[in-house]
Chain A
Amino acid sequence: MRDERPLSHVSAPVLALLAAGLALQLGLHAALPAPRAKAPDLLLPPASSLLRLASLGEPIALAKILMLQLQSFDYQSGSKVPYKDLDYSRVEAWLARILELDPKGQYPLLAASRLYAEVPDEARQRRMLDFVYRQYLLDPNRRWPWLAHATFLAKHRLKDMDLAIKYAAALQKYTTAENVPIWAKTMEVFIREDMNELETARVVIGGLLSSGKITDPGELKFLDGRLREIEQRLKKGASSKPQRGKGNEAVGHAAPLR
């Protein structure tokens, strides 16, 4: 218990001053509009070296704060139209800076692929997917999940199969870590199957099997099954196409399969 005099020792003017000050502060605060992030407020980020200087030796902490700050832009309360007014070149610059400060951090790429790339604006989507692709190439074994999502977006949202194949092929080519699931490395196969590029899909699987990268028996079995299925489909195509008068071409394509 503090050694204090009773409340009666406090003079009335002091109590009045305290009450008036408190009322004024609360009233003033209530009268002000709530703070809100506005798209035009998003400026270009400073140079990476300046940010490192400002981080005072804590670049990871600064990166986390900057990411949270960036994320709060343009969520307009009431009418929630996220990111529609944002300048994406600036968003991209901020994401790149944050990754430079904290290269192991996954948040910027999650935001790029799952937040900023999901706007109903194709140009912005493509910009973000390209950003994810470029960042993936810098550290494929850590950043593959985001390129996998980008591949999904390219295929299903943008309906750009060439772009999806470009990303999926990069996933297969550059991701070398053993803990990467088979589905990520074989996305290219499925996309090519969907495009009816069975021959290329077969070659990709054959390449995967012969590369020695796949060692898990379950994965080997799965890929082998897939390979057989493709070959069956190719055979079916080869046997049905001569009836349509294109038999020679089809056989010619199917020949290398065996």
Chain B
Amino acid sequence: MLRHILPIARYTLLEALRNRLLWLALILIAAGLAFTQFLQQVSITESNQIQAALLAALLRVGAVFMLAGFVVTSMVREFNDKVMELILSRPMRRSSYFVGKLAGFTAVALALALIFSLPLALFAPVPRVALWGLSLACELLLVTAFALFCVLSLTQVMSALAAVAGFYLLSRSISALQIMVANPLSDTLSLGQGVVGYVVDAIAFVLPGMDRMTQTAWLIYSAPTAAELGQLLVQTVAYVLLLCGAALFDLQRKNF
């Protein structure tokens, strides 16, 4: 099985390099550093914290956007060029193809997490930056798996990217939504409020708690606790398993 998976992963990684993803990452870092340098000039106090917080937020969103865009466009190109059909016409399991692609994209995600963590070491202690980077890698892994699942199901750039964006935004804000719904202004809960509350809770059950991941506070205030880190890793494993199961389910039912 590995003899099928590794070449697919390797070519996916090669595609990322040829798409100049690395250059784009470096340009984003340079732009982020320039922006934070400007803010540092105008800030009166906590300039290091301001730089760390804004650079971290910018790089995190940038990494998610770049990775989701790459996964979706790369897979759609394979659909359109019939590369996928060509590969699957070989004596190979569909799951091998999927795992190969996932491995390749995961390598890209890990590389991006590493590259984007490094400049933060200029403004925050290295151990904290390392933990932040680990969390970013987990977050990017989730985005990779979800983007792969979406593009295999939807096979269109726009719909897949919209789904990934919706998933990411909702995952990051679901806890805030739950709190808002759970605390209405009036004591009496109307039927509509009750239904909305149940719907939001149900959505929260099937979404990963991304609002607990890659927190800027870890860089500027205190490192995450072991419990927080453990929870983050378990959440990543659980959700990646779920997404892999869902994507393989869809792939195995697909008729080419």
Interface residues in chain A, defined as those with a beta carbon under 8 Å from any beta carbon in chain B: 3-7, 9-11, 14-15, 17-22, 24-26, 28-30, 32, 34-37, 68-69, 71-72, 75, 77, 115
**How far is B17's CA from A146's CA once the two chains are assembled, in angstroms?**
60
List, in ascending order, chain B residues with CB within 8 A of A11's CB.
Answer: 95, 252
State whether B242 touches A18 (Cβ < 8 A): yes
State whether B180 touches A72 (Cβ < 8 A): yes
List, in ascending order, chain B residues with CB within 8 A of A37's CB.
Answer: 179, 183
**How far is B182's CA from A41's CA once the two chains are assembled, in angstroms?**
17
List, in ascending order, chain A residues with CB within 8 A of B19's CB.
Answer: none
Stretch at the interface among B25-33, B79-87, B204-212: B204-212
* Partner of A32 from B231, B237, B243 at Cβ < 8 Å: B231
List, in ascending order, chain B residues with CB within 8 A of A10's CB.
Answer: 248-249, 252-253
Query: A4 and B245 in contact (CB under 8 A), knowing A28-B235, A71-B183, A71-B185?
Result: no
Instruction: Tell whether B246 is near chain A: CB-to-CB under 8 Å.
Output: yes
State whether A35 touches B245 (Cβ < 8 A): no
Main secondary structure of the interface of B (DSSP, over half): helix
8 other contacts beyond A20-B241, A21-B243, A25-B206, with CB at 8 A cut-off? A14-B248, A14-B252, A17-B241, A18-B242, A26-B205, A28-B235, A30-B205, A72-B180
State whether A24 touches B241 (Cβ < 8 A): yes
Residues 170-226 of B contacting A (Cβ, < 8 Å): 175-176, 178-180, 182-183, 185, 204-206, 208-209
State whether B254 touches A5 (Cβ < 8 A): yes
Q: Which of A7, A14, A30, A36 has the most CB of B within 10 A?
A: A14
Chain A to chain B contacts (Cβ below 8 Å), 21 pairs: A5-B252, A7-B253, A10-B248, A10-B253, A15-B245, A17-B241, A18-B242, A18-B245, A19-B245, A24-B238, A25-B208, A25-B238, A25-B239, A29-B205, A34-B178, A35-B175, A35-B176, A71-B180, A72-B182, A75-B182, A75-B183
List, in ascending order, chain A residues with CB within 8 A of B45's CB.
Answer: none
* Partner of A21 from B95, B175, B241, B254 at Cβ < 8 Å: B241
State whether B95 touches A22 (Cβ < 8 A): no
The 7 lowest CB-CB distance pairs between A and B, nearest first, are A18-B245, A21-B242, A21-B241, A35-B175, A24-B238, A75-B183, A17-B245
B238's closest neighbor in chain A, by CB? A24
A36's closest neighbor in chain B, by CB? B179
Q: Shortest distance in angstroms between A29's beta carbon and chain B's nearest beta carbon? A: 5
List, in ascending order, chain B residues with CB within 8 A of A14's CB.
Answer: 95, 245, 248-249, 252
Main secondary structure of the interface of A (DSSP, over half): helix
Query: A77 and B182 in contact (CB under 8 A), knowing A5-B255, A19-B245?
Result: yes
Instruction: Tell whether B131 is near chain A: CB-to-CB under 8 Å.
Output: no
Q: Shortest distance in angstroms between A96's beta carbon and chain B's nearest beta carbon? A: 20
List, in ascending order, chain B residues with CB within 8 A of A71's CB.
Answer: 180, 183, 185
* Partner of B249 from A18, A28, A36, A68 at Cβ < 8 Å: A18
Interface residues in chain B, defined as those with a beta carbon under 8 Å from any beta carbon in chain A: 95, 175-176, 178-180, 182-183, 185, 204-206, 208-209, 231, 234-235, 237-246, 248-249, 252-255
List, in ascending order, chain B residues with CB within 8 A of A21's CB.
Answer: 238-246
State whether A28 touches B179 (Cβ < 8 A): no
Query: A4 and B183 in contact (CB under 8 A), knowing A24-B241, A25-B239, A26-B205?
Result: no
State whether A18 touches B185 (Cβ < 8 A): no
State whether B180 touches A4 (Cβ < 8 A): no
Q: Shortest distance in angstroms between B240's beta carbon and chain A's nearest beta carbon? A: 8
**How far is B254's CA from A75's CA once the two chains are assembled, in angstroms?**
49
List, in ascending order, chain B residues with CB within 8 A of A17's CB.
Answer: 241, 244-245, 248
State whether B253 touches A9 (Cβ < 8 A): yes
List, in ascending order, chain B residues with CB within 8 A of A35's CB.
Answer: 175-176, 178-179
**How far is B176's CA from A35's CA once the two chains are assembled, in angstroms?**
8
**How far is B251's CA from A4's CA once the two chains are assembled, in angstroms?**
10
State whether A72 touches B245 (Cβ < 8 A): no
Q: Shortest distance in angstroms between B150's beta carbon and chain A's nearest beta carbon? A: 15
**How far is B197's CA from A154's CA once the two chains are assembled, in angstroms?**
37
State whether B238 touches A28 (Cβ < 8 A): yes
Q: Shortest distance in angstroms between B101's beta carbon and chain A's nearest beta carbon? A: 16
List, in ascending order, chain A residues with CB within 8 A of B206's CB.
Answer: 25-26
Q: Which of B183, B209, B237, B248 has the most CB of A within 10 A?
A: B183
**How far is B241's CA from A21's CA once the two chains are assembled, in angstroms?**
5
Q: Shortest distance in angstroms between A94's beta carbon and chain B's nearest beta carbon? A: 15
Q: Shortest distance in angstroms between A91's beta carbon and chain B's nearest beta carbon? A: 15
Q: Shortest distance in angstroms between A27's beta carbon and chain B's nearest beta carbon? A: 8
Q: Shortest distance in angstroms between B137's beta carbon and chain A's nearest beta carbon? A: 19
Q: Shortest distance in angstroms between A83's beta carbon and chain B's nearest beta carbon? A: 11
**How far is B204's CA from A145's CA once the two chains are assembled, in angstroms?**
39
B243's closest neighbor in chain A, by CB? A21
